[in-house]
Structure 1
Amino acid sequence: MAASSSEDATLTPGKAVDGNTTTRWASQEGNDREWIRIDLGEAASVSRVKLLWEAAYAKAYRVEISTDRTTWTRLATESAGNGGTDEWTNLNGKGRYLRVYATVRGTAYGYSLFEVEAYGTTGSGPGPTDPPTGAFTVVGAGDIADQCTQSDANCQHFKTADRAAAINPAFYITMGDNQYDDAHIEDFQNYYDKSWGRFKATTYPVPGNHESYDDYENRDEKAYREYFGSRATPQGKMWYSYNRGNWHFIALNSNRFDEDEQMDWLAADLAANRKKCVAAYWHEPLFSSGDHGNVPVSRPVWELLEGAGAELVLNGHDHHYERFAPQTRDAQADPNGIVEIIGGAGGKDLYGQGDTVQPNSAKRIWDKFGVVKLDFTDTGFRSQFVETNGTVLDTSPTYSCH
């Protein structure tokens, strides 16, 4: 279970599916667009949905269903709700995930549901709820587009984009600071769009600290959202998750790790995950031997991932490549720990080594631009750092999922 927000730690989305009509989920007050998402556990055919509203009801909302939490099919629409109990019958929905997406509040508060009930049959949905299992490849990079064009021989983000394209992955991820220096929309359009922009339809991005400079007083990643559109906020926020094969991917916004909303969402997302393997990515790394060094604000996120048995974390921020052996939040080597990879060599000028080589740092490359190539299977992964000329400069061991 997950929701766009929760009013506090006692009004979480799980309270709307606990079978107790005295407990409830409530969104934060004052926002018109909020949602609650239910994981049905497997593919299902849904024929009836029942909603028990608390006093804070939705005047307008829609009930939707999805196989992958990305593409949603509308089952029902309400435009004149008055609270109480809403029951939708004769539905014909197929999928694993059910969502109530509220758009207009009926009161001055938020939205609150005592219960969300779904009825139907399982095992009769549209087959696998995610893309087919088996091996697939992903390419990632962070710290990408400088304000330079392809005619400039020293412009590197076109070269990393060409290398990424040559690998021909299933999809692409970015680890933040996609556009420099202050990530204005015209810079995205003039630079990033001309190189990595060719992959936008198959890119799962996250913002970096430079993306928050466009309206820095409000810490608003405005141009990032405008450029990437729905790909920046596929689930309504600048953090989201998705599945591929036996892997659960979590994309996070490290600019906002100090906000409870994202942390609560992450805890709920990990609790709802049913995939064996977990990878997460964001901009600022907990561990780095580079110029910025370790970023402690990422520690609570690492703790949640570690508790859920995650396998892999990908970051940018420091402009170099670095791969760490599996470790704990306290930098203790542990074969059951998390592998962290910094892929900050996506195109912007490289940084040198910091003051300290961190424990468990297995490989560091300071002077080469390139991309991180990730080969996933149903049971594990292997990573490589590929230079812009195609040379593989580092290959990790093959790690098994926990």
Structure 2
Amino acid sequence: MPRPHASAPSRRTTTLSLLLAAVLLVTGALVLGSTGRAEAADPLLSRGKPAVSSSDEADDLTAAKAFDGDPATRWASAEGSDPQWIRVDLGTTATVSRVRLKWEAAYGKAYRIEISADGSAWTTLATETAGNGGTDDWTALNAKGRYVRVFGTARGTSYGYSLYEAEVYGTPGDTTPPGTGAFTVVAAGDIAAQCTASSSSCAHPKTAAQAQRINPKFYLTMGDNQYDDARLSDYRNYYDKTWGAFKAKTRPVPGNHETYDPAGSLAGYKSYFGSIAYPQGKPYYSFDEGNWHFIALDSNSFDDPAQIQWLKNDLARTTKGCVAASFHHPLYSSGGHGNDPVSKPVWQILYAAKADLVLNGHDHHYERFAPQDPSGRATADGIVEIVAGTGGAEPYPIENVQPNSQKRISGPYGVLKLDLTDTTYTWQYVGTDGQVKDSGPTRTCH
């Protein structure tokens, strides 16, 4: 039976006696007959929206499963520990009126329904202290926010928390509020062939000119910055004449061609970029801009335990809400090199840390993927991968289209233009003619 309430939030179960159901049915018919219409219910806002959680018991029990509309799928937290939480991003500020939770056998005995405008400061909408599972239907909530969270403080079983569905109803805002801390980044990999602007077929002077016209906050390179052996002399003769114009604003990573230098692996790369590429004395580093944490990695040495441990420690320390990583070898690619499993352990670490974006080169084409997990399964809480090995090296054809690949361009040279805010990101692939060849959707950080 519904709990009595005035304007306070109310939780009701879905079990009604047959007599009460009949009374309600008759009453509803009378109301329809006298008014000609029934009052419209608030729409469901949370279906298919990005979701994250404090933990997932398994790869197929992620937060997104509680918002997919499928009653057979579910989210489950890690077993045996409190507190645990699950959060959904509604995509815009909304007036939330109702939250309905459909628990699996592992339910929350004590939990809070919370709402937030920014995903960090939370206001409690409702509190449960004696839950018994089943379906909890909280109504009369009437609060504004973009993020809604179920924060469990006491499990009802010895397991974890598990929801078949979490449904948020209400009235959406008219527009998505603009993000703050906005800035632009330009990125590309596979850049400087041994040619100059005196040759009309030389592409890296043209991509450099387009990159400079965009005038971003900084530039990212995704390896193979200089062909073929990345000698210091070649860096000076070719790369420096074009992309070198904004070297001080560049945050590079090495590719496999940087390892070919006869003077020693990465010798020319290290000598040319100096402390820009080695700010911590290693060919991997991180830095922050706004609410973003950027990680630059050396994918030539993903088998180095020191780099892997550094990555784990670095991700554990960051307090930023958005995370992007750049390195040369893509885990997934539809180009000539194809998928590179050397990157999978790093993806697993990034995915566990709720990273948002991975930028790669190696294959000489542009490609963007839908959010996916390290095993290549599409999921709302997955990582978006973009391949942009289009800075000037000879293009590679598309050979084997991978699952979750959403767009592929081979041939036209160009740069990746990333527009970032404190909570969102979107991008464009801009050709050397200044034309936008592809645009990504606006996505919200995990």
Q: Which amino acid counterpart does residue 178 of structure 1 have in structure 2?
A: N
- What's the counterpart of residue 277 of structure 1? 322
- What's the counterpart of residue 401 of structure 1? 445
* Secondary structure in 1 matching 2:364: coil
TM-score by length of structure 1 reads 0.66
- What's the counterpart of residue 369 of structure 1? 413
Q: Is 1:214 aligned to residue 258 of structure 2?
A: no
Residue among 211, 233, 244 paired with 2:289: 244
1: distance between equivalents of 2:359 and 2:257? Answer: 18
- What's the counterpart of residue 162 of structure 1? 209
- What's the counterpart of residue 193 of structure 1? 240
Query: For residues 222-265 of structure 1, what are the alpha-carbon distances to aligned partners after superposition, in whole Å with 9 as ceiling and x for unaligned?
Result: 10000001101011100000000000000000011011010000
- What's the counterpart of residue 228 of structure 1? 273
CA contact (8 A) 1:215 1:221 kept: no
Instruction: Write the mapping of 1:334-349 to structure 2, written as runs, cut at 5 A.
Output: 334-349=379-394
Q: Which amino acid counterpart does residue 142 of structure 1 have in structure 2?
A: G
- What's the counterpart of residue 59 of structure 1? none
2: distance between equivalents of 1:245 and 1:376? Answer: 9
Structure 1 gaps, min length 5: 1-132
2: distance between equivalents of 1:222 and 1:264? Answer: 24
- What's the counterpart of residue 147 of structure 1? 194
- What's the counterpart of residue 257 of structure 1? 302
1: distance between equivalents of 2:328 and 2:198? Answer: 29
- What's the counterpart of residue 333 of structure 2? 288
Q: Give the Å deviation of 1:397.
A: 0.5
2: distance between equivalents of 1:140 and 1:199? Answer: 12
2: distance between equivalents of 1:199 and 1:177? Answer: 17
* Secondary structure in 2 matching 1:362: strand
- What's the counterpart of residue 219 of structure 2? 172
Query: For residues 327-377 of structure 1, what are the alpha-carbon distances to aligned partners after superposition, in whole Å with 9 as ceiling and x for unaligned?
Result: 0111111111000000101001101112x2100000000111000000000
CA contact (8 A) 1:173 1:203 kept: yes
Structure 2 gaps, min length 5: 1-179
CA contact (8 A) 1:315 1:343 kept: yes
- What's the counterpart of residue 74 of structure 2? none
Q: Is 1:329 aligned to residue 374 of structure 2?
A: yes
2: distance between equivalents of 1:330 and 1:257? Answer: 18
Q: Which amino acid counterpart does residue 156 of structure 1 have in structure 2?
A: A
Q: Which amino acid counterpart does residue 278 of structure 1 have in structure 2?
A: V
2: distance between equivalents of 1:400 and 1:187? Answer: 40
TM-score by length of structure 2 reads 0.59
Larger of the two Rg values belongs to structure: 2
Q: Which amino acid counterpart does residue 380 of structure 1 have in structure 2?
A: T
Residue among 404, 408, 412 paired with 1:360: 404
Q: Give the Å deviation of 1:383.
A: 1.0
Q: Is 1:392 aligned to residue 436 of structure 2?
A: yes
2: distance between equivalents of 1:303 and 1:388? Answer: 35
* Secondary structure in 1 matching 2:328: coil
- What's the counterpart of residue 299 of structure 1? 344
Instruction: Write the mapping of 1:95-174 to structure 2, written as runs, cut at 5 A.
Output: 134-174=181-221
* Secondary structure in 2 matching 1:337: coil
Query: For residues 82-120 of structure 1, what are the alpha-carbon distances to aligned partners after superposition, in whole Å with 9 as ceiling and x for unaligned?
Result: xxxxxxxxxxxxxxxxxxxxxxxxxxxxxxxxxxxxxxx
Q: Give the Å deviation of 1:215.
A: 3.3
- How many residue pairs match? The answer is 268
2: distance between equivalents of 1:301 and 1:295? Answer: 12
* Secondary structure in 2 matching 1:268: helix
Query: For residues 52-77 of structure 1, what are the alpha-carbon distances to aligned partners after superposition, in whole Å with 9 as ceiling and x for unaligned?
Result: xxxxxxxxxxxxxxxxxxxxxxxxxx
Q: Give the Å deviation of 1:192.
A: 0.1
Residue among 312, 324, 332 paired with 1:267: 312
- What's the counterpart of residue 354 of structure 2? 309
Q: Give the Å deviation of 1:319.
A: 0.2
User: Structure 1: which 4+ aligned runs deviate by more than 6 Å?
Assistant: none
RMSD: 1.2
- What's the counterpart of residue 9 of structure 2? none
Q: Which amino acid counterpart does residue 377 of structure 1 have in structure 2?
A: T
Q: Which amino acid counterpart does residue 340 of structure 1 have in structure 2?
A: E
* Structure 1 residues 215 and 259: CA distance shift in structure 2, 3 A: farther
* Secondary structure in 2 matching 1:342: strand
2: distance between equivalents of 1:289 and 1:348? Answer: 17
Query: For residues 157-179 of structure 1, what are the alpha-carbon distances to aligned partners after superposition, in whole Å with 9 as ceiling and x for unaligned?
Result: 00000000010100001000000
Query: For residues 122-148 of structure 1, what are the alpha-carbon distances to aligned partners after superposition, in whole Å with 9 as ceiling and x for unaligned?
Result: xxxxxxxxxxx6100000000000000
* Secondary structure in 2 matching 1:186: helix
- Aligned-residue sequence identity (percent) comes to 61
Residue among 202, 207, 213 paired with 2:249: 202
2: distance between equivalents of 1:363 and 1:353? Answer: 11
1: distance between equivalents of 2:309 and 2:181? Answer: 31
